[in-house]
Structure formats: C-alpha cells, structure tokens
Chains A and B, each alone.
Chain A
Amino acid sequence: MSAIDLYATTLLVYFGVDVLAAWGLNLQYGLYGMYNFAFILFQSAGAYTAAILALGHPSNQFGGQQYFFGASLPFPLPIIVAGLVASVLGLAIALILRQGMRSDYQAIVTFVIAVMALLTVSAIIPLFNGQAGLSQVPQPLASALHVSSAGYAWIYVAFVAIVCLISYVIIRRLMGSPLGRAVRAVRENANGAAALGVNATWCRIVVSVLGAAMAGVSGALLVEFIGTWSPGSWSYAETLVIFSAIIVGGVGNNIGVLIGVFVTQIIFAEGSRFLPTSLPPNLVGSLQWIVIGVMTLAFLWFRPQGIVPEKRYCVPAAPAGERRIAAEQAEPAAVAGRPFVSGEGEQ
C-alpha cells in the first residue's frame, strides 16, 4: 500500500468515524440538550466490544494480551453488538441525567463517570489489557475479499461512508418526525412541552440510546480498521473535541456538524504542516490542542450558532391563512440557532 493510499484512507476512516460520533452527540446535546461529558465512553464501549468479539478466545493470543470473554464472530456481528452495548450505556446515562438537573451538575456527573471508567479500565488489566490496551484486532473479511491492502482500505472507506449515509437518513427522519419536534420542544421549554403531554423521559431515552448506538458503531468501525484501542484514545478531552466540532459547525445542524468535524480534523491532521519542521514533536501536539481550544472560545464569543446554524422550524398552526400569520407573528424570538444564550434552553 502506497503512503498516499494509507494516509488518505486512514484520514477518511477517521473522518467518517468522527462524523458518526459527532452526529450522535448532536442528537443528545443539539437536539435534546443533554450535557453529556461521558460521551466518548459510548465510542470506547463500542470499540472494546468489537475488539474482544473479533480477537477470539483470550488463550489464543501471542502478544500476552489479557481480556475477558473473547470470541471471533463473523463480520457484521461485532459492529452490531458494539452498537447494542453502547446503547445500553446510553440508556443508563439517560436515566441518571434526569429532567431538571442543572446543566453544570449534569456535566459534572458525566465527567466523573468518564474519569471513573478510564481509571477502572486502566487499572484492572484482565478487563481490556489495562493501560496498554488491545491491539492486533483483525480486519474483517480481509482474507475473504482477495484484494490488495490498498484496495481493502478503499473498500473499508466506502463501507464507513455507507454506514454514515444510513445514519444520516435515520437521524434526518428522526429530527423531522413528530418525535423529533417533541424532543426539540423539551429542549426549548420543558414545562411547556410537559403541559402538552410530551414525555420528556422518553424523548431523552430515545436520543441518548440512538446517539450512544451511533458512537458505539463508530468506535467499532475505527477499531476494526486501525486494530488498536487503549485508554489513551478516550480521555475526557476527546469528548471535548467532539463538542468543539459541534460548536464550530453549528449546534443542532447535521451538515454544520460535518463541517465542524472537518475543520477540527484538518487542524489535527494537517495543522503541523503550517509549522516549522524544527519544532520538537510534543510542541506540535500541544499547539494543535491550543489552536482548537482558542478556535472554540472564539466561536463561542463571536458566532455561538456555528458556521451553519440550526434551521428555525416553523410549523403552520392551522390551514387558515390569517391564523397562520398571527401564529408566526406571535412566535417568540428564535431560540433554535441561538445556543449558549443565558436563560434559554435551560431546564
């Protein structure tokens, strides 16, 4: 496989995986308003699940890797099970972050969960090989396809693209459906939505489970391509980067989120090209984080709605022309597309 092929396919797979995860977080945060700093946990659960379901029984490992269970399931199964495991976690998080919890408390609860999970997985080696992590995860169908490694990589890119496309269709349909409107109503005014008979807990469970499943599948897709997964891949800062991608792109807007992921990824993947080559490598790494941080702060300050803001959804109240105009005039200032504004979207 040539260097260009390797570089391009790796970048594209990462891009697809990050977009999938960011769409999942956008469902939870952008559509509903869950403040979930443990989001990376879903991706990680998916990655670990897919890894142990593809690696085979632990006793067959030569590298001395330790992990529990272990099986070698045929191709699509590890990814599907990964999504299921992540969605169970999503259900748990949805039940913990109950309605009316202050946004900063939600963030602290999930932050603590993320730190605890990282500490546990790093410390208990028989779980997922501790700090060293799992490696040598086999690529699915690599022997069955009879193609060169470059051809395989491009087929995998196409596969990731198809998964992204299917997910996009699903979340678009959800966002436009009556349920999607109900979720948005809970975000804008939880009490008002409750008065109209919207069940906020159900809405939260739906977005959380679906978002988590997408993150889980994204983790599975990544680990089956790059072959390794370790605690270094899922510190809480990774969740923050996904949040940044959403903020930069546009909270609540799927196309915006895609652009946001692209921008943050360009900084991580290509940012080092704009720096002098004489800099030590750890300085380049820190500068990339600093640039993303400053960019996020700048967007929060100058353009909190992001590059592509969320669309305003106007639903005609009644077919009669006059009442419709009255309803539009009576509509309060647009809240959609104005995230981070104090006093709105809170509780």
Chain B
Amino acid sequence: MLIVPAVGFGLATASYVALASVGFTLQAGVTNIFNFAYGDIMITAAFVAYVVNRAGGGLWEILIVGAATGAVVSVAFNRLLFRRFVRHGINPFGMLIVTLWAGIILQNILLALFGPQFFSLSVSSGRLFDFFGPRGILLTSVQIISIGLAVAAVLIVAIGLRYTRVGMAMRALATNPNLAQSSGVPARKILDYTWVVSGIFCGLGGVVLALATGAFEQTTGEEFLVIIFAATVLGGVGRPVGAAVASLVLGIVIEVSALFIPPSLKELVAFAVLLAVLVIRPSGLFSLAKEGAEVAVV
C-alpha cells in the first residue's frame, strides 16, 4: 500500500504548513489584521537564506537568518504601514488592499533583485530514517527537524498565550483592545512582540518551505498563502493548537489525495475544504465567536 508513505509525506507537508500557520494565526488573532503579505515575507526570508546559503551557510545558519528576516520585515511592515493605516482609521477591507499591495511590492522588489527564475537551497538532507519497516514512513533528518520546529512552535505559542503575562496581554488585546488599553496593557509594545514572534515563525516557515519544495521563486509564498489560510481558518483564527491540528489534517489529506487525483490538483482538496468552512461557518471549526473583533489602534 502506498497510503502509509503518503502519510509520511503528509507529516512533512504538515510540518511546514503548521510552522507558518501558527505564526499567521497568532498574528491574525491578536492584531485582527489579515496580512496578505505573509506569504511574501516568508519567501523573502527564503531569499535571504539563499544568499547566506550561497555564502556557505549550513542548515542552522539559514534557519536563524530566515527567522531574523521574517521578524525584521514583519515589524517593519507593521510600523511603517499597517499600524499607521490603522491609526488613520482605515476599515478592514482597506487594510486588506494595503497588505495585498505591500506583498506585491515585496514580490516585485525580489523579482528586480534576483530575476525571474527558480532558486533552490543546497542543504544536505541528512540521513534517512525509516519508521514502521521498509514500506513504512521514510523521513530525512531535515524533515524531522522541520517537524520538531513545528511542534516546538505550537507548544511555545499555545503555552505562551495561556500562561505568560505577555501572552495574556495578547489575548486581552485580541478580545477587546479598548478595554485592554484602559486596563494598562502596553498595546504598542505587545503588538510589536506579536509581530516579532509571528515574524520568526513566518521566516522559519519560509526557509522550511523552500527546503521542502526544492525550487522556489518570488511568487511561491503567495501561492502557499491559501494553504496557510486553510489551516488558520479551519483551526479557528487565533488558536495555535487548532492551526496545528488543521495543518496535520490538511497535510495528510493533500498528500493522500495525490494518490487518487492528478498531483497538480492536490491542493484543490484543501482549498475546497477551506471554502466550504468559510461559507458555512466563517469563524472556523474550533473557534470562539470572533466576528466583528476590533483592530487595536495604537
């Protein structure tokens, strides 16, 4: 049977979907901004990782550089664009136009700098580990590292949101920004933290995505964004564990469905699920009611 190896592929796919969507769900949940530039920031991190990789950086170096790039670009976008437009009194739809254009501008900067071609990171995929016998699940050490990173990311965000002071402040801001601010939550600082943390996962996700897909170009992140949306919305916006579970389901569904339909259409299954959920239950499967939540003005 090919199902078991496909589940193995699904686990590897789920790991980078989870890594990216944990960051996205935190960002969207706390700031109430749907950042359409997220995929483009991911791929920017991958391009910076590519430069470091060419200069001789190994796996850990490019992961660190990618995480740093994600954090820096995310915070810069928030400080230079998003926060200012929120203070300017823009409505959620106007904000979407802003993030979409921010993403397209970033894409075109990458296109101008690197040119229209595919790039790949050359990192040795390490040794192979096989689970459940010779016809079972086969994973490279890079894939195991990415699964480890995804698990760590989910745990950090879930536990951090629940038990730390910063996490509680983030949840307070997400639920009611005005009340949180008048109760003494330093909104500007907490939102900056949110952009840094989600940016780190965004950057890591970008590097792991680039490693997993083999070849990437400046539009790879934007195409991947729909899968991140799927995981985030299925899991419920602002719920890291939900996003992780949804990523696992989506990853396995995508890879197993590739056995039955043309592989170029495998993502369609995930999108169809997302569409059904969005139309029938927009707040997500596991979400608390979050419709009409406000964006914090800082």
Chain A residues engaging chain B, CB cutoff 8 angstroms: 35, 96, 101-105, 107-109, 111-113, 115-116, 119-120, 122-124, 237, 240, 243-244, 247, 280, 282-283, 285-287, 289-290, 293-294, 296-297, 300-301, 304, 339-346
Across the A-B interface, how many residue pairs have beta carbons closer than 8 Å? 128
A243 to B99, CA, bound (A): 14
Q: Are B93 and A240 in contact (CB under 8 A)?
A: no
Q: Are B91 and A341 in contact (CB under 8 A)?
A: yes
A323 to B279, CA, bound (A): 45
Given contacts A120-B265, A289-B108, are A104 and B93 in contact (CB under 8 A)? yes
Cβ distance B156 to chain A, nearest Cβ, rounded Å? 26
Given contacts A119-B267, A297-B81, are A102 and B291 in contact (CB under 8 A)? yes
A14 to B105, CA, bound (A): 24
Q: Is B233 an interface residue (CB 8 A)?
A: yes
Task: Give a binary string over B71-85; 1 marks a CB under 8 Å from any A CB, 0 the rest.
Answer: 000000000010011
Set of chain B residues within 8 Å of A282, measured between Cβ atoms: 111-112, 115-116
Given contact pairs A297-B81, A301-B85, enumerate 11 new A-B contacts (beta carbons under 8 Å): A35-B96, A107-B93, A112-B275, A115-B223, A119-B271, A286-B111, A289-B107, A290-B105, A293-B102, A300-B90, A343-B91
- From A287, A301, A343, contact of B112 by CB (8 A): A287
Set of chain A residues within 8 Å of B282, measured between Cβ atoms: 101-102, 105
Q: Is B215 an interface residue (CB 8 A)?
A: no
Q: Are B265 and A345 in contact (CB under 8 A)?
A: no
- List 28 contacting pairs A-B, 8 Å CB cutoff, sorted by A: A101-B282, A103-B91, A104-B93, A104-B95, A105-B278, A108-B229, A108-B278, A111-B36, A112-B275, A112-B278, A113-B275, A115-B226, A116-B226, A120-B268, A124-B265, A243-B97, A286-B111, A289-B104, A289-B105, A290-B109, A293-B102, A300-B94, A300-B97, A301-B84, A301-B88, A304-B90, A339-B94, A343-B91
Chain B residues engaging chain A, CB cutoff 8 angstroms: 34, 36, 81, 84-85, 88-98, 100-102, 104-105, 107-109, 111-112, 115-116, 223, 226, 229, 233, 262, 264-265, 267-268, 271-272, 274-275, 278-279, 282, 291-292
Set of chain B residues within 8 Å of A102, measured between Cβ atoms: 92, 282, 291-292
- From B101, B223, B274, contact of A296 by CB (8 A): B101
Of all chain B residues, which has the CB nearest A281? B116
Cβ distance A132 to chain B, nearest Cβ, rounded Å? 14
Q: Are A116 and B275 in contact (CB under 8 A)?
A: yes
Q: Are B96 and A104 in contact (CB under 8 A)?
A: yes
**Chain B interface mostly:** helix
Set of chain A residues within 8 Å of B274, measured between Cβ atoms: 112
Q: Are A237 and B265 in contact (CB under 8 A)?
A: no
A240 to B98, CA, bound (A): 11
A334 to B115, CA, bound (A): 47
